[in-house]
Amino acid sequence: MAKLPLKAARLSFRHDRGEDRLNVLAASAGNEAIVLQLTRRLTGLAINAIAGVLEKTNRVARQAPNEMRDDIVLLEHLGALQASALASTEAAAVGDEGGKTAVKSPALMAPPQLVHRIELTTRPNEFAVIFKGSNQPLVALTLGRTGLHRVLETLQRSADAAEWAIRVNAAWLKPEDSEIVLN
């Protein structure tokens, strides 16, 4: 088993229908890995907390009028997703296999670890995320704004694919509620 907390370089999400939990494969740069399990409740809390942190830490949105803040954060979110999609395409073009490398077979790994708490710490130019079990940190990773946007999007898409109907508090994350105003 990997030394805990595992310093994750990659996260991969998949819904486990039998357990009705989100399995998160966290892999280090050295290809050590651990499987985490997120409950529906914790996934919803994480989505809303990450969205809130991204809103509060966006300098441009903080200085903008209230009616423009959601649009500014949404544009940042879409830009981050577009930038990461371009980076994945470029990595695949140079033979990186889309950033995928082999990790130990899940069958050879320890059983999934249930996550009880996720801590998100804001630093000047990055965010520290720690997934904690009942009595110890399991996985730690450091992300920039783009990486945090990618985690948020992946959590939300995974929850939607699991048909969890998580209530999202951030208006900018609810495109069906968004209204585009052309000047």
pLDDT at 87: 61
Indicate the DSSP class of residue 96: S
How confident is residue 43, by pLDDT bands cut at 50, 70 and 90? very high
- The CA angle 112-116-117, to the nearest 5 degrees, is 125
Residue of higher predicted confidence among 143 and 61: 143
List, in sequence order, the alpha helices (H) in 1-111: 40-56, 59-63, 66-93
Whether 134 contacts 141, CB under 8 Å: no
Tell me the average pLDDT of the chain. Answer: 84
Please write the tens of the pLDDT for every residue from 77-125: 888 888 767 665 444 444 344 444 455 555 456 899 999 999 999 998 8
Neighbours of 74 (CB within 10 A): 18
pLDDT at 99: 43
Max CA distance (Å), the chain: 58
Tokens 């495109």 correspond to what residue?
Answer: 175
When mean pLDDT is compared across 14-18, 63-67, 124-128, 158-162, the lowest value belongs to 63-67
Q: In whole angstroms, what is the distance from residue 122 CA to residue 83 CA? A: 22
pTM: 0.80
pLDDT at 122: 94
Q: Average of pLDDT values for 24-29?
A: 94
